[in-house]
Amino acid sequence: MFGMNELCSVCQKEIQPNEEVWVRMKYPSKRGVTEIKAFLHQEAQFVCMDCFEKTKK
Ligand SMILES: [Zn+2]
């Protein structure tokens, strides 16, 4: 998705290319986040749809 190997933060499954994921992240506190990939890598937690469906219940 962002050219990185990301893991589901719940089940640690590797997120596959083009897989639909749910992303939990903090909104940038600073204006002008130029390195969005680095920001996402630090701040974003990916949750695969399987786990997202489980957490909805
Ligand atoms: Zn998962």
Dump pLDDT digits (tens) for 2-53.
555 788 999 999 988 888 998 888 777 776 667 777 777 788 888 999 999 9
Q: How many domains does the chain have?
A: 1
For residue 1, what pLDDT is reported? 46
Q: Label residue 32 exposed, middle or buried (CB < 10 Å: 0-12, 13-18, 19+).
A: exposed
For residue 32, what pLDDT is reported? 66
For residue 48, what pLDDT is reported? 94
CA of 28 to the centre of ligand 1 (A): 25
Token pair listed for 25? 């992240």
CA of 32 to the centre of ligand 1 (A): 31
For residue 3, what pLDDT is reported? 52
CA of 55 to the centre of ligand 1 (A): 10
Distances from the Cα of 36 to the Cα of 12, 29, 53, angstroms? 23, 13, 27
Domain hosting 18: range is: 1-57
For residue 51, what pLDDT is reported? 94
CA of 51 to the centre of ligand 1 (A): 4
Length of the chain: 57
